[in-house]
Amino acid sequence: MRPEDILRIAREEAERQKAYKYRINVCCSCGCLPFGALNVLRAFEEAVKEFGLQEECRVSRTGCIGTCSVGPVALIEPGGYLYQNVTPDRVREVVKSHIISGTPVDELLYKNEVFFKKQLRLVLRNAGKIDPLRIEDYIATGGYSALIKCLTKMTPKEVIDEVIASGLRGRGGAGFPTGQKWNFVAREKNTPKYVVANLDEGDPGVFANRTLAEADPHSIIEGMIIAAYAVGAEKGYIYVRAEYPLAVQTLREALKQARSMNLVGKNILETQFSFDIDLRLGAGAFIAGEETGILASIEGRRAAPRPRPPYPATHGLWGKPTLIQNVETLANVPPIILNGGSWFAKIGTPKCTGTKCFSLTGKVKNPGLIEVPMGITLREIVFDIGGGAPPGRKFKAVLVGGPSGGCLPESLLDLPIDYESLTKAGAIMGSGGIVVIDDGSCMVDTAWFFTDFCVDESCGKCVPCRVGLLKMRNILERIMRGEGRMEDLVLLQELGEYVREASLCGLGQTAPNPILTTLRYFRDEYVAHIIERKCPAGKCFKVEGAVKEV
Amino acid sequence: MREHGYQKSALLEVLHAAHELYGYFDKNILAFISERLNLPLSHVYGVASFYNLFKFRKPGEHIISACMGTACYVKGVEEIISAIEREFNVKRGGSTPDGRISLFVTRCIGACAMAPNITIDNEVIGRATKEVVLERLRKILEG
């Protein structure tokens, strides 16, 4: 296939879709599936057939629309009518009333406009709009035209310059400037070079990458090919958690389709450029998301990180130059190429451009997957988009950045979301998890939970992390049993700082964050446990010997 | 293994395939892999035991996995797990004496907006409550 063929497919497919008067998109992503989304999809197909509407009504399965708390959901276009809690037995009524009579079924409509109003969907531009299992859908929305532009009109250097101009930074958590990283790999002489797409989203409470892969796999693949073209790589791996079977299946199918259209493989679109992509499955190791950990895992070893330098940009997979990017970063690339870096740089804040996907969960009214411009405040996310704590509950803290993030109190809610502000407050951007905690949770217990997670997931290679975290957990357990002493708080603080300073990789360096931030912002709860021997949230001391076993 | 050309670097892929086939690893399986890929058994065991996904004991007839992700924890999955443990006399990580049920605790399955999540034989129950889960399990056991 040549570039013209892809553009022709895009035109034809867009024409075909325009012929439909209505489009019914049924979310079949991780949130809606357990609630019978597939049955709803089938019911819509049957109803459309029954009324003889196949010509004017297209029913398709799509990825996540974002309102995961009211699933299964279905979106009817035009007009953006979002139906919530759809069950198969109501489908016939919806089709009859909405499509035939033109009156939407009011009682099933999702009416929370604020949820979408504050969002800006760039990475998730196609989520919930296209069928992820049809490459034609992606192409019809302008998909792969960024790749065509790169291959036919731009040199690798120009591609890198565009990404540098955009100010895009790594979305995996550390926020390293993406263009600069590409430059490092591009100037290496050693070949072959590799590109690794990181989809080892191990943080509990985070599902943004997964949803992206399930909703729009080709945006990841296209971004990856462009990255490979820019740095001169010939082989790529997408490293996916095995716990995400639907994402694995979707990516596998997408790769097959891309290969059949000559978008992946030898001489892509009949140019001189060749690049092949394989999937690699993780096996339940949080640490495998660390950049040297992921390399070890792809090479078939334990995912233990190693000291850097040398950085993967010079010594990566099998000692060769390797570009490692989070999938969300890669999905940002096609729009940057199409619209230009300066367009992207206008979104967000000057130092932190673009958008960020967050999984908003925990004790909020509207949990779900959101994408917001950088610089938005936590308050807007938690209270405007999320709707605040559920009725009868009081907001207490918000955990930003996964198990090694930090718990921030209400007083810090006006903090703008960007890498630097979050780090200063003791949290991290991480992979974009926001878990809201209400007054029913004990902060000591919460800190224990995350520390326990990190103890479990520590690879055991370096001492500060392996021993330090274990000791910290033991001290927390002592406090939770009611045997804590005030000196323990000093000890926790000291240990936490040691672990943070002395650990080899990102896990150890950030693992003390939950303890350090709860000590900083919720010290009174620790003191209540120690002095008054009581738990303000009524969680600890309940059971004889409150130490939990996992 | 043939598919991967007996490459040493394909160890993780081979482990995945074997695990899917048998559901767990015992010494024979790992020894076979070690021999065919020409890797020391210690290395194969080391890699296999590093990753949480792989099991080393034969799981029971029905597998319950409770999600212990942050969102599920905050929303009280602990209570559901304890209830299952009490009712069916099973400890997390183990099986009932008759081998009919195994109870595992997994880290996040990524369906956090539906927390808490309990998976029974690959079927996810979102917004789970103690009552719903116990009822479902009783039904399964009755056949």
Examine the domain organization and report whether B33 and B76 are in the same domain: no
Q: Is residue B31 part of a domain?
A: yes
Residues A465-473: contacts with CB within 8 Å, 24+ apart? A465/A499, A465/A503, A465/A504, A465/A507, A465/A508, A465/A511, A468/A495, A468/A498, A468/A499, A468/A503, A468/A508, A468/A512, A469/A499, A469/A508, A469/A511, A469/A512, A471/A495, A472/A496, A472/A499, A472/A512, A472/A515, A473/A448
Q: How would you write the pLDDT of chain A (550 residues) with one tens digit per residue?
A: 899 999 999 999 999 999 999 999 999 988 888 788 999 999 999 999 999 999 999 999 999 998 988 889 999 999 999 999 999 999 999 999 999 999 999 999 998 888 999 999 999 999 999 999 999 999 999 999 999 999 999 999 999 999 999 999 999 888 999 999 999 999 999 999 999 999 998 887 788 999 999 999 999 999 999 999 999 999 999 999 988 889 999 999 999 999 999 999 999 999 999 999 999 999 888 888 899 999 999 999 999 999 999 999 999 999 999 999 999 999 999 999 999 999 999 999 999 999 999 999 989 999 999 999 999 999 999 999 999 999 999 999 999 988 888 999 999 999 999 999 999 999 988 888 899 999 999 999 999 999 999 999 999 999 999 999 999 999 999 999 999 999 999 999 999 999 999 999 989 999 999 999 999 999 999 999 999 998 999 888 754 444 444 3
Q: Of A237, A171, A236, A177, whose CA–CA distance to A206 is shortest?
A: A171
End-to-end CA distance of chain A: 54
Q: Is residue B3 part of a domain?
A: no
Domains and CATH numbers, chain A: 14-112 (3.40.30.10), 142-345 (3.40.50.11540), 355-438 (3.10.20.600), 443-532 (1.20.1440.230)
The rounded radius of gyration (Å) of the Cα atoms in chain B is 17
Q: Is residue B2 part of a domain?
A: no
Q: Is residue B36 part of a domain?
A: yes
Interchain CB distance below 8 Å, A202 and B110: no
Examine the domain organization and report whether B83 and B41 are in the same domain: no
Q: Of A184, A263, A266, A276, whose CA–CA distance to A233 is shortest?
A: A276
Please state, in angstroms and rounded to a whole number, the distance separating the CA atoms of residues A300 and B47: 8
Examine the domain organization and report whether B46 and B68 are in the same domain: no
Q: For residue B53, give the 3-state DSSP assignment.
A: coil
Q: ipTM of this predicted complex?
A: 0.86
A457: chain B residues, CB-CB within 8 Å: 107
Q: Is residue B57 part of a domain?
A: no
Phi, psi of A31 (to 5 degrees): -75, -40
What's the pLDDT score for residue B108?
77
| Domain harbouring B76, CATH code | 3.40.30.10
A418, two tokens: 């960007």
B123: chain A residues, CB-CB within 8 Å: 34
Nearest to A300 among B8, B108, B111 (CB): B8
* Residue B143 near chain A (CB below 8 Å): no
Q: Is residue B56 part of a domain?
A: no
Whether the CB-CB separation of A28 and A38 falls below 8 Å is answered with: yes
Chain B residue whose CA is closest to A295: B9
What's the pLDDT score for residue A35?
83
The rounded radius of gyration (Å) of the Cα atoms in chain A is 24
* Mean pLDDT, rounded, of chain B: 89
Whether the CB-CB separation of A528 and A482 falls below 8 Å is answered with: no
Examine the domain organization and report whether B17 and B78 are in the same domain: no
* Residue B1 near chain A (CB below 8 Å): no
Examine the domain organization and report whether B103 and B35 are in the same domain: no
Question: How many domains is chain B partitioned into structurally?
Answer: 2
What's the pLDDT score for residue A202?
81
Task: Provide the residue range defining the domain that includes B30.
Answer: 8-50
* Residue B105 near chain A (CB below 8 Å): yes
Examine the domain organization and report whether B132 and B79 are in the same domain: yes
Q: Of A364, A383, A440, A415, whose CA–CA distance to A517 is shortest?
A: A415
Chain A residue whose CA is closest to B107: A204
| Residue count (chain A) | 550
Q: Is residue B17 part of a domain?
A: yes
Examine the domain organization and report whether B17 and B45 are in the same domain: yes
pLDDT at B111 exceeding the cut of 80 = no
pLDDT digits (tens, 9 = 90+) for A474-523: 999 999 999 999 999 999 999 999 999 999 998 999 999 999 999 999 99
B11: chain A residues, CB-CB within 8 Å: 300-301
Q: Is residue B108 part of a domain?
A: yes
Please state, in angstroms and rounded to a whole number, the distance separating the CA atoms of residues A154 and A415: 39
Interchain CB distance below 8 Å, B107 and A244: no
Phi, psi of A372 (to 5 degrees): -130, 155
Q: Using CB atoms and an 8 Å cut-off, which of residues 50-109 of chain A contact chain B?
A: 68-69, 71
A162 to chain B, closest Cα gap in Å: 34
Please state, in angstroms and rounded to a whole number, the distance separating the CA atoms of residues A71 and A524: 39
A223 to chain B, closest Cα gap in Å: 23
Examine the domain organization and report whether B90 and B41 are in the same domain: no
Interchain CB distance below 8 Å, B114 and A31: yes
Examine the domain organization and report whether B40 and B102 are in the same domain: no
Q: Using CB atoms and an 8 Å cut-off, which of residues 192-221 of chain A contact chain B?
A: 201-207, 210
Interchain CB distance below 8 Å, B70 and A550: no
Examine the domain organization and report whether B43 and B67 are in the same domain: no
Interchain CB distance below 8 Å, A244 and B110: yes
A433-438 and B101-106: which strand pairing? unpaired
Please state, in angstroms and rounded to a whole number, the distance separating the CA atoms of residues A28 and A31: 8
Please state, in angstroms and rounded to a whole number, the distance separating the CA atoms of residues A545 and A72: 42
Amino acid identity for residue B136 in this structure: R
Examine the domain organization and report whether B78 and B46 are in the same domain: no
Regarding pTM above 0.95, the answer is no
CB pairs A-B closer than 8 Å: 147
Examine the domain organization and report whether B75 and B109 are in the same domain: yes
